Amino acid sequence: MKYIIADAKKQNSIILVSSHEEYAVEAFEWEADGFLLLSVNKDNIKRLLLRVLEE
């Protein structure tokens, strides 16, 4: 998790990808534009957001 946060701080925007249906070309273009793509599980992101709200 610390590695992801460190990477995110270097980027302008983050795109959370919860589906394997994203096209590889689109993903490449997003990364080329400076987006950080994170593959996430919806349940995991819900737990993360709840943990952040508790802090």
- pLDDT band, very low/low/confident/very high, at 13 (cuts 50, 70, 90): low
pLDDT at 23: 62
pLDDT at 41: 74
- Residues 6 or more apart whose CB falls under 8 angstroms from that of 8 comprise 14, 36
- pLDDT band, very low/low/confident/very high, at 2 (cuts 50, 70, 90): very low
Mean pLDDT value of segment 12-29: 64
Q: Residue ranges per domain, the chain? A: 2-54
Mean pLDDT value of segment 26-46: 72
Q: Decide: 15 and 36 in contact? Cβ < 8 Å.
A: yes
Q: Is the pTM of this model over 0.75?
A: no
